[in-house]
A and B are shown apart, each in its own frame.
Chain A
Amino acid sequence: MTSLLKRLAGGTGSRSVKAELRGDVLFALVIGVVGLIAILPGRDGAGTAMADMQLVGSIFAVIIAAIGLNLLTGYAKLVSLGQGAFYAIGAYGFAYLFLDGGFPALLAILVALILSGIIGALLALGSMRLRGPQFSMITLVLAIVVERILEQLETFGRASGYPNPLSHGTGLLEPIELFGTRLEPPLLAGTPGNVLVALLIVLVIVLVLYRNLVRSSWGRSLRAIGESEHLAAHLGVNVFSRKVVVFTVASVLGGLGGIFYVQIFAHLQPETFDIFLSITIVLSVILGGGGTVLGPVIGAALITWLQRSDVLTSVADAQQDLFGTDRWYLSTPGLLGLLFVITLFLLPNGIVGTANNALRRWAGADDESDADAALADLEVAQLPPREERREPGAELLRIDGASKRFGGLQAVGEMELAVREASIHAVIGPNGAGKSTLANLLTGVYQPDEGSFRLDGVELAQLKAHAIARSGVARTFQTPQVFPHETTLENVKAGFVDVAQLPLWKAALKPPSQYRREREIHDRAIELLDRVGLAEDASTLAGSLSYGKQRALEIARAMAMDPRLIVLDEPAAGLNPTECDGLAALLLQLREDGMAMILVEHHMDLVGQVADEVTCMDQGRLLAHGSAEEVLADPAVVAAYLGVPDPDDVAEMEVAR
């Protein structure tokens, strides 16, 4: 039992493909059974169950919209206040196409979903430079404008609702018919609301696909974007297009939620789709736990139930009795707001996120040997080396005439540099010499003004960061950039090319090959952790690792990309001597394995220990180049180090402005 729980909690125990499959089937079964229990009371159409069946249907609808929002808000950390707008677009879109358009039901659903997706994609294209309150604003605008259109557009019946007796002779949409069965809504006593069965089936399918998606490398890319877009780009993720895609997927799910809504209530009023609907969906995600698989599911169920049932009404009455006033008390909307604020305080990761953490802590403290045993059983899957890799000593990277100005400052000027296969090329220089700028130019943080950066003959100079990463250049950062709330193992998994390149459909459908690939990634990640000495820490949260270990973790993650070249930006900064020795040993070992590296470093001991070649920069220019001994003995280099600092840091601050 313990081990099962630990597995579910995300322990490091490597899961066989079979166990993984079992887990996935179990998930679908449990969701299906819970849903079935929920809709069971309505099976014979008993009047007393009608209100509850509507509630269950609403919950299903909000769950769908909430899991969509979770991709955006929970994982990619873009707080959208516009999910309700897509809910409305889906609902009205379907109803209009079905009734006025005369489309067959399934086609109407499909077109309504595509419509939601297109509007989502358009908004996404416009808003992808935005974060924080500005992003929330643009989505809020969408929600308000859509509500306004529903209120004003004659086509949709305006405030008379859709359909309405004047235009359609009825206030209720006809149930859709599938395979000869009318899918009745739970509206009239005596008529079982069998549409709930269909909705449940769709819900289970969507939940399974969604769960596959967020647990795949595709899902990892969303977490990476949520943590830092810069970092995600250096992991090879095309941040812009991925954000557009995830917004589109979220919009389609929002639309599907709306389509669910029509099936249950059969009539649409614009008042339903006000800004509070959007806020309710956000509440559901955050309360349940953004960035967790089940968070929005639990959250949506809980919020919808609290909103509609009488529980909060009795709380309101109790307050009035307690305080002896019929004025100063909170009723349902206020209590939900209060619950929300309290959740943020007490359960910062939401209900599911907090439960997850508690479970992980409990499982981790349980016993250590289990994890080690898992490692011991490991059959290491050796990934084939990159085919392009050529023999040691051949020139891999050549930088020629690289220049970059920030305003009036020449941060880098006419730099040149070459890196050979299976070698370490150190770049040294006094503070502000332009070393980090050079590394940033190479990895695509900045575009060079001039110069060429050729990796094995391929020009990188005008490529974006993610494209450079995909060409085989990985990097680490001056201050380690890890995902602090993820385990060490997950951090390494975020480095694999799959994060950038796994197609959406494959991530969601999870064909057998994907099971095998996940297993490969898992094994390979463990191997990499072992390589950098972090095997013991596989299930530790990266944020709680020491500085030195975070560095090692970054290197392991960079290795996961199977790069041709790794750019290490001051990896020794902040390390103690022992850690520094460990780092030297690791770098040497990587070189043994055939890895080429650029080492931007201050730490001369380390440089002396590992560098095959050294280039010294000063004031953005090449000062000296040669072996470590030669360069360090060069009088010009010594003078530069004793000289005045240079404007590099200032320049970077300028940019930050």
Chain B
Amino acid sequence: MDFVIAGLIMGGLYALIAQGFVLTFLTTRTLNFALGEFLVLGAVIGMGVGSWGWLPDAGKVAFVILTVGILGAIVYRFLVLPFTTEGPHDARWLLSTVGLSFVILNLLTNSQGATPKALGYGGFGEFSTVLGVRVTTQALVIAILAIAITALLVLMTTRTPLGLLMRAVSEDADTAALMGVSPRRIGMLAYAIAMGIAALAGVLWASQVGVSVHMGLPLLVAAFACGVIGGLTSLWGPLLGGAIYGVLTHWASFELGGVWGETAGLLLVVVVLIFRPEGLLGRRLEAKL
């Protein structure tokens, strides 16, 4: 049973990051493959503002979320949107964001060095006990945040006028545009929120493991896997995907050994893609004739 609790808690981190994929995919049908680097960017900026003694820690985290969120909106406007113009098969955005990830990663490696550094704030203490299982408080907080943020996003998209607009754009961007909704602005907003969430995850996780330019890639792969398993078109998808992926990788690490955990999770992704490409909670998208 221990591995279930431990897996679920780790799944929370992946789910939170995966939300950064789902939110943008839902509204714009695009993903930011530089998401891992945005995570790192959040942590690095978080470290940069660490010395601002006048700002309380929560303020620092808010500053990071805001800054990275704005960067996310800019990235959508200038690096994603221009590469979606050729119809549904246009995948140039995938390439432009991969290119961007190279640039950010390299810039941060050159400027910050490749060795990890302590963030120094944003921690929530050492360990907590959940149903008799000891977990790090930080991971627990992140998992709770993942649930809370998912619930908030669902409420926002179903109960607020803004959410209605987002859903309209996600259903049919062209028609929404005719009705006076700007898909571009909605897309920028979705990217801003998504990258803000990634930055939050980056800061909180870095507070436990340190700020390292290399923390992005493994988390990106895990989060992408969770998104795909749960379904990229469902806001609840990341939580389900994260839970399954977290428990499975934990179980496999325990039963088969450390290095096979991730591999087991990735093989599950393959199985899901083969038998249910839209993910467990996702909707089937078919091209109209």
Interfacial residues, chain A to chain B (CB-CB below 8 A): 77, 79, 126-127, 129-134, 136-138, 140-141, 144-145, 148, 151-152, 226-228, 230, 275, 279, 282, 286, 327-338, 340-341, 344-345, 348, 440, 445, 477-478, 652, 655-657
**Looking at B25, B83, B102, which has the most chain A CB atoms within 10 Å of its CB?**
B102
Q: State the 7 A-B residue pairs at the shortest beta-carbon distance, nearest first.
A: A337-B102, A334-B106, A340-B99, A327-B111, A341-B99, A337-B103, A126-B274
With A140-B224, A655-B286 known, 8 other A-B pairs at CB within 8 A are: A79-B95, A127-B273, A133-B25, A137-B225, A145-B266, A152-B259, A330-B103, A331-B110
B260-289 interface mask toward A, CB cutoff 8 Å, 1 = contact, 0 = none? Answer: 001100110110011001000001101111
Give min CB distance, B129 to chain A, whole Å. 33
Asked if B95 and A330 sit within 8 Å, CB to CB, the answer is no
Q: Which of B62-70, B86-94, B149-157, B186-194 contacts A (4 or more CB under 8 A)?
A: B86-94
Report Cα–Cα, A341/B97, bound state, in Å.
Answer: 8
Q: List 7 A-B contacts (CB under 8 A).
A: A134-B228, A134-B277, A151-B259, A227-B89, A330-B106, A338-B99, A344-B92
Q: A152: which B residues are within 8 A, CB to CB?
A: 259
Interfacial residues, chain B to chain A (CB-CB below 8 A): 25, 31, 79, 82-83, 88-89, 91-92, 94-96, 98-103, 105-107, 110-111, 217, 221, 224-225, 228, 232, 259, 262-263, 266-267, 269-270, 273-274, 277, 283-284, 286-289
Asked if A341 and B110 sit within 8 Å, CB to CB, the answer is no
Report Cα–Cα, A275/B101, bound state, in Å.
Answer: 13
Asked if A334 and B95 sit within 8 Å, CB to CB, the answer is no
Main secondary structure of the interface of B (DSSP, over half): helix
Q: A137: which B residues are within 8 A, CB to CB?
A: 224-225, 228, 269, 273
Report Cα–Cα, A637/B111, bound state, in Å.
Answer: 76
Which B residue's beta carbon lies closest to that of A142? B270
Which B residue's beta carbon lies closest to that of A334? B106
Q: B288: which A residues are within 8 A, CB to CB?
A: 652, 656
Q: B277: which A residues are within 8 A, CB to CB?
A: 129-130, 134
Asked if A337 and B111 sit within 8 Å, CB to CB, the answer is no
Report Cα–Cα, A139/B96, bound state, in Å.
Answer: 18
Asked if B266 and A144 sit within 8 Å, CB to CB, the answer is yes
Main secondary structure of the interface of A (DSSP, over half): helix
Report Cα–Cα, A140/B262, bound state, in Å.
Answer: 13
Q: A279: which B residues are within 8 A, CB to CB?
A: 98
Report Cα–Cα, A134/B25, bound state, in Å.
Answer: 12
Asked if B106 and A344 sit within 8 Å, CB to CB, the answer is no
Report Cα–Cα, A282/B98, bound state, in Å.
Answer: 10
Asked if B79 and A341 sit within 8 Å, CB to CB, the answer is yes
Asked if A331 and B95 sit within 8 Å, CB to CB, the answer is no
Asked if A336 and B102 sit within 8 Å, CB to CB, the answer is yes
Which A residue's beta carbon lies closest to that of B88? A132
Report Cα–Cα, A79/B98, bound state, in Å.
Answer: 12
Asked if A330 and B110 sit within 8 Å, CB to CB, the answer is yes
Q: A226: which B residues are within 8 A, CB to CB?
A: 89
Report Cα–Cα, A655/B286, bound state, in Å.
Answer: 8
Asked if A77 and B269 sit within 8 Å, CB to CB, the answer is no
Q: B96: which A residues are within 8 A, CB to CB?
A: 340-341, 344
Q: A133: which B residues are within 8 A, CB to CB?
A: 25, 31, 91, 94, 232
Given that A79-B94, A130-B273, A134-B277 are contacting pairs, would A345 and B82 also be in contact in the complex, using a CB cutoff of 8 Å? yes
Given that A127-B274, A137-B228 are contacting pairs, would A337 and B259 also be in contact in the complex, using a CB cutoff of 8 Å? no
Give min CB distance, B32 to chain A, whole Å. 11
Q: A655: which B residues are within 8 A, CB to CB?
A: 286
Which A residue's beta carbon lies closest to that of B266? A141
Asked if A334 and B105 sit within 8 Å, CB to CB, the answer is yes
Report Cα–Cα, A345/B96, bound state, in Å.
Answer: 9
Asked if A657 and B283 sit within 8 Å, CB to CB, the answer is yes
Q: B284: which A residues are within 8 A, CB to CB?
A: 657
**Looking at A79, A132, A227, A327, which has the most chain B CB atoms within 10 Å of its CB?**
A132
Give which listed residue, A129, A230, A329, A334, contacts B287 with CB less than 8 A: A230
Which A residue's beta carbon lies closest to that of B113? A327
Q: A127: which B residues are within 8 A, CB to CB?
A: 273-274
Q: B228: which A residues are within 8 A, CB to CB?
A: 134, 137
Asked if A329 and B103 sit within 8 Å, CB to CB, the answer is no
Given that A133-B94, A282-B95 are contacting pairs, would A328 and B110 also be in contact in the complex, using a CB cutoff of 8 Å? yes
Q: A338: which B residues are within 8 A, CB to CB?
A: 99, 102-103
Report Cα–Cα, A166/B94, bound state, in Å.
Answer: 43
Q: A138: which B residues are within 8 A, CB to CB?
A: 269-270, 273
Asked if A131 and B89 sit within 8 Å, CB to CB, the answer is yes
Given that A126-B274, A330-B110, A345-B82 are contacting pairs, would A337 and B92 also be in contact in the complex, using a CB cutoff of 8 Å? no
Give min CB distance, A435 to chain B, whole Å. 13
Q: B224: which A residues are within 8 A, CB to CB?
A: 137, 140
Which A residue's beta carbon lies closest to that of B31? A133
Asked if A141 and B103 sit within 8 Å, CB to CB, the answer is no
**Looking at A230, A337, A655, which has the most chain B CB atoms within 10 Å of its CB?**
A337
Q: B98: which A residues are within 8 A, CB to CB?
A: 279, 282, 337, 340
**Looking at B25, B262, B288, B289, which has the most chain A CB atoms within 10 Å of its CB?**
B289
Give which listed residue, A141, A227, A337, contacts B100 with CB less than 8 A: A337
Asked if A445 and B289 sit within 8 Å, CB to CB, the answer is yes
Q: B25: which A residues are within 8 A, CB to CB?
A: 133
Asked if A145 and B263 sit within 8 Å, CB to CB, the answer is yes
Which A residue's beta carbon lies closest to that of B106? A334
Report Cα–Cα, A329/B217, bound state, in Å.
Answer: 21
Give which listed residue, B102, B103, B289, contacts A478 with CB less than 8 A: B289
Q: B286: which A residues are within 8 A, CB to CB?
A: 655-657
Report Cα–Cα, A432/B270, bound state, in Å.
Answer: 40
Report Cα–Cα, A120/B82, bound state, in Å.
Answer: 33
Give min CB distance, A159 to chain B, whole Å. 12
Give min CB distance, B277 to chain A, whole Å. 5
**Looking at B106, B266, B269, B274, which has the most chain A CB atoms within 10 Å of its CB?**
B106
Give which listed residue, B89, B95, B217, B221, contacts A286 with CB less than 8 A: B95
Give min CB distance, A608 to chain B, whole Å. 27
Asked if A148 and B259 sit within 8 Å, CB to CB, the answer is yes
Give min CB distance, A406 to chain B, whole Å. 13
Give min CB distance, B162 to chain A, whole Å. 24
Asked if A340 and B102 sit within 8 Å, CB to CB, the answer is yes
Asked if A333 and B106 sit within 8 Å, CB to CB, the answer is yes
Asked if B102 and A333 sit within 8 Å, CB to CB, the answer is yes
Report Cα–Cα, A144/B225, bound state, in Å.
Answer: 12
Asked if B106 and A331 sit within 8 Å, CB to CB, the answer is yes
Asked if B83 and A344 sit within 8 Å, CB to CB, the answer is yes
Q: B101: which A residues are within 8 A, CB to CB?
A: 337
Report Cα–Cα, A656/B102, bound state, in Å.
Answer: 37
Q: B100: which A residues are within 8 A, CB to CB?
A: 337, 341
Report Cα–Cα, A279/B225, bound state, in Å.
Answer: 18
Given that A133-B25, A330-B107, A338-B99 are contacting pairs, would A148 and B263 also be in contact in the complex, using a CB cutoff of 8 Å? yes
Q: A445: which B residues are within 8 A, CB to CB?
A: 289
Asked if A77 and B110 sit within 8 Å, CB to CB, the answer is no
Which B residue's beta carbon lies closest to that of A133? B31
